[in-house]
Amino acid sequence: MRRLSPGTGTCDVNNFDVRHTFNFSVLYAIPYGAGRGHGSNASGLNQFLLGGWDVGGIVNARSGVPIDVRITRPDVVYRDATGNIFASPAAGREAIINTPRGGSSRNVRRPDLVPGVNPFTNSDGILFLNPAAFATPAPGTFGNLERNSLHGPNFRQTDFFFSKNFPTGGRTLVQFRMEVFNMFNTVNFTNPVGTLPQAIPNAALSEANRVQPGQPYTAAAAGTFGRLTSTVGRTVGLGTPRQVQFAFRFSF
């Protein structure tokens, strides 16, 4: 889902936006046993072993949800005579406002997207976003990355179940049921780390971690940014690693 940003002509994507989703479910009553197409008059042993079976499954797949990509920026930075920007004061450096509208509460904003660089790594490793596609905005300017324009990892899962019904007379029956969630044990990751660390040079940063505004982030300066660090997790059901549960039910 999108909404138009007033006065910009661009569309903001909602946090829960999912572009594509697919759900498929099937339930099949095997036609053998009492009250079914075949085997209604089968012997008691055949009824017990072969009759009353149901099988089914659910396939879920969807595209990823938006990643809230941000960058940490000092409220005030310092510019020297050559135009280089620093996060700490020194002789010959001029203090300038860095974050638009100022204030330490505004120092986590959206970064610049480097033109022509793919923000995704397109690899099977744990690095999902490419740090070299992002840069610190120039002092006093907003980042050009549109809100929620990048989406996280896709999701897919297949569940399976079978059940066996044991008639106990009249309208009552006992059902044995086995359910397998995420039958193929597919790994589904949550969104990667989405906040770039402060990389404007200061005394606390090593040389490898220093990046001037407008320069692409290096892997060293980005730290854990863009990395897949956790999987989708719920106690039971959608998003779990493979789980198997058994149940008995008495219907009357």
In Å, what is the CA distance from 104 to each residue of 69, 73, 94, 121, 137?
19, 9, 19, 32, 16
Query: Who contacts 251 (Cβ-Cβ below 8 Å, separation ≥6)?
Result: 171, 172, 173, 174, 175
The pLDDT value recorded for residue 47 is 74
Task: Map residue 121 onto helix, strand or coil.
Answer: coil
The pLDDT value recorded for residue 44 is 76
Q: Which residue has the tokens 């008495």?
A: 250
Range of the domain at 42: 9-251
User: Cα-flanking dihedrals φ and ψ of residue 92, to 5°?
Assistant: 85, 5
The pLDDT value recorded for residue 2 is 45
CA separation for the pair 167, 174 (Å, rounded): 6
CA separation for the pair 41, 24 (Å, rounded): 35
The pLDDT value recorded for residue 14 is 83
Domain membership flag for residue 44? yes
In Å, what is the CA distance from 154 to each residue of 29, 34, 104, 186?
32, 44, 35, 11
Domain membership flag for residue 210? yes
Domain membership flag for residue 2? no
pTM recorded for the entire structure: 0.78
Q: 70-72 and 195-196 as β-strands: parallel, antiparallel, unpaired?
A: parallel
Domain membership flag for residue 3? no
Helices (H), the chain: 44-50, 219-222
The pLDDT value recorded for residue 11 is 57
Domains contained in the chain, number: 1
Query: Who contacts 238 (Cβ-Cβ below 8 Å, separation ≥6)?
Result: 60, 157, 181, 232
Domain membership flag for residue 60? yes
Query: Who contacts 222 (Cβ-Cβ below 8 Å, separation ≥6)?
Result: 131, 134, 196, 197, 199
The pLDDT value recorded for residue 24 is 97
Give per-residue burial for 22-33: e unless 16+ CB within 10 Å, then b.
eeeeeeebbebb
Cα-Cα-Cα-Cα torsion 49, 53, 59, 60, nearest 10 degrees, comes to -110
Domain membership flag for residue 148? yes
Domain membership flag for residue 162? yes
In the sheet that holds 243-251, the strands lie side by side as 21-29, 53-62, 155-169, 172-181, 243-251
The pLDDT value recorded for residue 1 is 45
Mean pLDDT in runs of 10 for the chain (252 residues)?
A: 43 81 94 76 76 92 94 92 91 90 80 95 87 94 92 94 84 89 93 93 78 93 93 80 91 82
Identify whether the C-beta of residue 120 lies closer than 8 Å to the C-beta of residue 226.
no
The pLDDT value recorded for residue 39 is 67
Identify whether the C-beta of residue 118 lies closer than 8 Å to the C-beta of residue 133.
yes
Domain membership flag for residue 4? no
